[in-house]
Structure 1
Amino acid sequence: MRTGHTFDVRDHGAKGDGIALDSPAINAAILAAEAAGGGMVILPPGNYLSFSLRLKSRVTLVLEAGATLIAATKGPLGAYDLPEERGPQLYQDFGHSHWRNSLIWAEGAEDIAIIGAGRIDGIGLTRDGPGTPRSAQKGERPLSMAQMPAADIDKLERSHAEMQGLGNKAIALAHCRRVTLDGFTLLKGGHFALLASEVDGLDIAGLSIDTDRDGLDLDCVRDARIERCRVNTPNDDAIVLKTSLGLGRRSSCEDISIRDCTVSGFDLGTMLDGTRQRTQELSPDRDRVTGRIKLGTESNGDFRRIRIANCRFERSRGLAIETVDGGTIEDVLVENIEMEEVTTAPLFLRLGARLRGPEGTRPGAMRNIAIRGLKATGIDPRFAATLAGLPDHPIEGVQLRDIDLAFEGGFTGPAPALPAELADAYPEPSMFGPSPAWGLWARHVNGLQVSGLRLSRPAGDPRPPVRLDNASVARVENAPDWPAPV
């Protein structure tokens, strides 16, 4: 609902012809709305070429049906706002450490919104940026990238100097309160379609995002809801919660709800055009396409009271819950999940010890995780649902209820040996190689409860359906493939 003063960007000089640069006019309208105590900045139907827009408190940006905000390309028309000078950022990459080098950004703003049936086209944004500069490089990249030539990695990780004037996020928010994102479509959002860092009170609904790297990233966000969104991200995660040190301190993700969303890994742009193409087989990390819901990998702070319900995964990696940088994940409830064409493990819980953080960072904890009603088909036969803690830091209190996993084909190799612990490796299901069980593998888990576990595959497999290594089981009911007690 529109309330308050309205400010048409054309009254401030915007052309909307896709040729003239309209960001000065749009920013002028935003400042006029701020000066009036708040209001609606309207983009009527048209094509608005833009560099950085600076959203202010009590201002709503309205993208009307037929309006497209187009990310301009750095060059003769200008450049994006420069990334903040924040000193060395040792524990997270460039993208997580800056906000102003974005198409739309806000810092310290309250009661802001981007709404409407229009579109954001991030064609002028880059998905690239440098990694972390810390000296200890273990766990920085997935093990699947270990054999990549340095030249290929350099193509993905531009230098700081190369990033000056480039935009690498569609929307970036830092230290904001009471934010609404509703109804619009976003194509090609750069490194992040949305990076929300230390935002309190975030409502996201009805977005359609088809992007070249991360979709919706909530980093140290509290009191947030993501509902009825479609997010297609073949190259990275679709909806992800994180607790990085991007803002210079340890903080948490708390009271987050993700409901009625669909995530996928179809070819870029083909979710929005409806063709849902499948020509891309691998993500840049050399694993199969991504497109999932995930907690982590950045996990310096804690995650508490997370709810994920009534979501679909299509041609994507499965649900991942990971803490490897010292944070605690607790009180997570996942309900009524459907997956089709799962490109790695359908479920991956990992408590590790990458420990990308200041001196003295210690392994975190994972406890009280309930997953109820998960049905997955077309699962990559190499990877079982995996729960993997550490010998001295087990995962605690996991409930699996009504889990139905149907694997695609069989595994033809010899049964693999028990994998190494790999405590400090980047967490991905492929880190361990093919799983030592084909259905469910749990290692270093205390208090596992299982009820209604159904596992199926169409071909033979030398591995057992379930394997437990240093895992204590509190209760098993209606799980015919469960191993006999020893």
Structure 2
Amino acid sequence: MPAETLLFDVRDFGARGDGRALDTDAINAVIAQAALSGGTVVIPAGRFLCFSIRLASGVTLLLSEGAVIEAADPARHAGAYDPPEAAHGELFQDFGHSHWRNSLIWGIGLHDIAIVGPGRIEGTGLTRDGPGARWRRDTGERPLSMAGMSAAEIRALEPEEQEMTGLGNKAIALRNCRRVMLRDFTIAKSGHFAVLATGVEDLLIERLVIDTERDGIDLDCVRRTRVRGCRVNSPNDDAIVLKSSYALGTAVACDDVVIEDCTVSGYDAGTMLDGSFGHTQQLAPDRDRVTGRIKLGTESNGGFRNIVIRNCRFERSRGLALETVDGGAIENVTVSGVTMREVTTAPLFIRLGDRGRGPVGTDIGTIRGVTIEDVEASGIDHRFAATIAGLPEARIEDVTLRDIGLTYAGGGSMADGKRRPPALPHAYPEPSMFGVTPAWGLWVRHATGIRLRDVRLATETPDGRPEIVAENAEIDRD
């Protein structure tokens, strides 16, 4: 990042910070001024009510102690968020992934930018909803757990695009930016995304605290990215998720990413920040149990390579998910030093599918070269074993599980152990997609080169299913 030599206080440009007057124009004016020479825009203590704030190259936004940027609400305040730019359409990804300007803070094509704390962003006036992708297929657009929802219930979560006019649905959105730092601030509520970074290179996200009603940190088609020491609570969606969508108009891999020393969870929204860690909410909007996990996918056109996840903690959340269903490759992924408590679906879920949400000719992807080691998980939902599930025509290859301890609740039946779930190649990937798994500990299907080294499986109460079930799979267990 460039040297921070010049300071620009937003109050000197007319910002009031009283939580009533809109400070959007004043803050945008000082950012534009700072961009002429480079420098730091200081948000002092106070509550600054804003619509869209536009970042600029060479500028750092400093949220001082006691500073709050609050997202204005178009229903209550005179103004609107910047309109969504003309993009590559929402054919292969939803509205939220396809636009960046309709956000509280955004930047496109910038370099050498930063947002640093210790202040706070509150997305009070943002919406968490938005249209789904325009791509349609009999299956694959939504999790199978949503199959029983009515059209009205779906529409409440996915309004029409014209209903998004004037609304903001992201706290921070970045596209095609270089040398970016987000550090040491808090985000409370954030619409669809707390942070959406698409096509961003050389990105550092460090010590953010996020408690939100949908996605936490979304890293889409990024390169050379580090996420360190973050705490993300997101009961309704993923906490930290890597994606490789078609949002940039072409398939781009998510490459060279490290996620380390982070904690993700699915406590009741807002209760991580207030310290009460609530357990009232039981289901996410997809009607599976609360989310809050680290995941690769679901958008997976460009694939994922050279990914490291280490020294992370999952609390009251779904487990780790590595998924490619849109033609991309998952390769050279290392996971280590992970602990999980109160796992709400499968602790490990590796899925190679054929949803094929992409241009005509999109083929099945690949998964190979995955190592998961030093993992301890307890309080696991008994219905869903750790799962490695490929397809008959596309096996998962070369996966090592080493020094793994998984303790399940137990309680499955012998009848469950006789189940042989359908292949569901085109379905949206979630651990619940197959129903209760036929094994209680580890279920492997359509895979080769699966190595188990010091894998310890246990149940708290008896379970009538086999410990491990392998179907069309080659497993080497010590």
Given the two structures, how large is their TM-score scaled by the length of structure 1?
A: 0.96
One-letter amino acid of the structure 1 residue matched with residue 287 of structure 2: R
Q: What corresponds to 1:220 in structure 2?
A: 221
State the Cα distance separating 1:409 from its structure 2 match.
3.6
State the secondary structure of the residue aligned to 1:423.
coil
State the secondary structure of the residue aligned to 2:312.
strand
Q: What corresponds to 1:484 in structure 2?
A: none
Q: Percent identity?
A: 60
Q: What corresponds to 2:297 in structure 1?
A: 296
Is contact 2:211-2:232 (8 Å) kept?
A: yes
State the Cα distance separating 1:418 from its structure 2 match.
0.8
State the Cα distance separating 1:476 from its structure 2 match.
1.7
The one-character-per-residue Cα deviations of 1:286-305 (angstroms, maximum 9, x if unpaired) are 00000000000000002110
| Aligned: 1:441 with 2:443 | yes
One-letter amino acid of the structure 2 residue matched with residue 94 of structure 1: F
Q: What corresponds to 1:285 in structure 2?
A: 286
Q: What corresponds to 1:169 in structure 2?
A: 170
One-letter amino acid of the structure 1 residue matched with residue 181 of structure 2: T
State the Cα distance separating 1:85 from its structure 2 match.
2.1
| Aligned: 1:49 with 2:61 | no
CA distance in 1: counterparts of 2:89 and 2:224, whole angstroms: 30
Deviates more, 1:411-420 or 1:248-257: 411-420
State the Cα distance separating 1:136 from its structure 2 match.
2.3
Q: What corresponds to 2:36 in structure 1?
A: 35
The one-character-per-residue Cα deviations of 1:162-217 (angstroms, maximum 9, x if unpaired) are 00110000000000000000000001111010110000100010000000100000
Matches within 5 A, 1:44-123: 44-75=44-75, 76-86=77-87, 88-123=89-124
One-letter amino acid of the structure 1 residue matched with residue 380 of structure 2: I
Q: What corresponds to 2:155 in structure 1?
A: 154
The one-character-per-residue Cα deviations of 1:40-98 (angstroms, maximum 9, x if unpaired) are 00000000000000001010000001000000001442000000123642100000000
Is contact 2:88-2:249 (8 Å) kept?
A: no
State the secondary structure of the residue aligned to 1:431.
helix
CA distance in 1: counterparts of 2:256 and 2:157, whole angstroms: 34
Q: What corresponds to 2:308 in structure 1?
A: 307
CA distance in 1: counterparts of 2:226 and 2:87, whole angstroms: 30
CA distance in 2: counterparts of 1:420 and 1:408, whole angstroms: 25
Equivalenced residue count is 475
Q: What corresponds to 1:418 in structure 2?
A: 420
State the secondary structure of the residue aligned to 1:414.
helix
Is contact 2:195-2:216 (8 Å) kept?
A: yes
One-letter amino acid of the structure 1 residue matched with residue 423 of structure 2: E
State the Cα distance separating 1:369 from its structure 2 match.
0.2
CA distance in 2: counterparts of 1:288 and 1:62, whole angstroms: 37
Matches within 5 A, 1:314-393: 314-393=315-394
CA distance in 1: counterparts of 2:438 and 2:413, whole angstroms: 13
List alignment gaps of at least 5 residues for structure 2: none
The one-character-per-residue Cα deviations of 1:285-344 (angstroms, maximum 9, x if unpaired) are 000000000000000002110000000000000000000000000000000100000000
Q: What corresponds to 1:483 in structure 2?
A: none
The one-character-per-residue Cα deviations of 1:411-448 (angstroms, maximum 9, x if unpaired) are 24722411000000000000000001000000011101
Q: What corresponds to 1:450 in structure 2?
A: 452
State the secondary structure of the residue aligned to 2:311.
strand
State the secondary structure of the residue aligned to 1:241.
strand
State the secondary structure of the residue aligned to 2:439.
coil
Is contact 2:320-2:348 (8 Å) kept?
A: yes
State the secondary structure of the residue aligned to 1:226.
strand
Matches within 5 A, 1:110-149: 110-149=111-150
CA distance in 2: counterparts of 1:118 and 1:134, whole angstroms: 40
Given the two structures, how large is their TM-score scaled by the length of structure 2?
A: 0.98
The one-character-per-residue Cα deviations of 1:132-156 (angstroms, maximum 9, x if unpaired) are 1124252000000000111111110
Deviates more, 1:277-286 or 1:450-459: 450-459
Is contact 2:407-2:457 (8 Å) kept?
A: yes
Matches within 5 A, 1:228-307: 228-307=229-308
CA distance in 2: counterparts of 1:190 and 1:125, whole angstroms: 5
CA distance in 2: counterparts of 1:308 and 1:132, whole angstroms: 29
The one-character-per-residue Cα deviations of 1:107-148 (angstroms, maximum 9, x if unpaired) are 000000000100000000000000011242520000000001
Q: What corresponds to 1:472 in structure 2?
A: 474
State the Cα distance separating 1:247 from its structure 2 match.
1.4
One-letter amino acid of the structure 2 residue matched with residue 345 of structure 1: A
Q: What corresponds to 1:181 in structure 2?
A: 182
State the Cα distance separating 1:392 from its structure 2 match.
1.0
CA distance in 1: counterparts of 2:242 and 2:460, whole angstroms: 35
The one-character-per-residue Cα deviations of 1:338-367 (angstroms, maximum 9, x if unpaired) are 000000000000000000001000000000
Q: What corresponds to 2:430 in structure 1?
A: 428
Pairwise CA RMSD: 1.1
Is contact 2:88-2:98 (8 Å) kept?
A: no
Q: What corresponds to 1:482 in structure 2?
A: none
Q: 1:206 to 1:351 in 2, by over 3 A?
A: same
One-letter amino acid of the structure 2 residue matched with residue 418 of structure 1: R
**Runs of 4+ off more than 3 Å:** none
Deviates more, 1:77-86 or 1:231-240: 77-86
One-letter amino acid of the structure 2 residue matched with residue 423 of structure 1: P
List alignment gaps of at least 5 residues for structure 1: 478-486
One-letter amino acid of the structure 2 residue matched with residue 290 of structure 1: T
The one-character-per-residue Cα deviations of 1:389-420 (angstroms, maximum 9, x if unpaired) are 01111000000001100011422472241100
The one-character-per-residue Cα deviations of 1:251-309 (angstroms, maximum 9, x if unpaired) are 01111000000000000000011100000000000000000000000000021100000
CA distance in 2: counterparts of 1:251 and 1:133, whole angstroms: 20
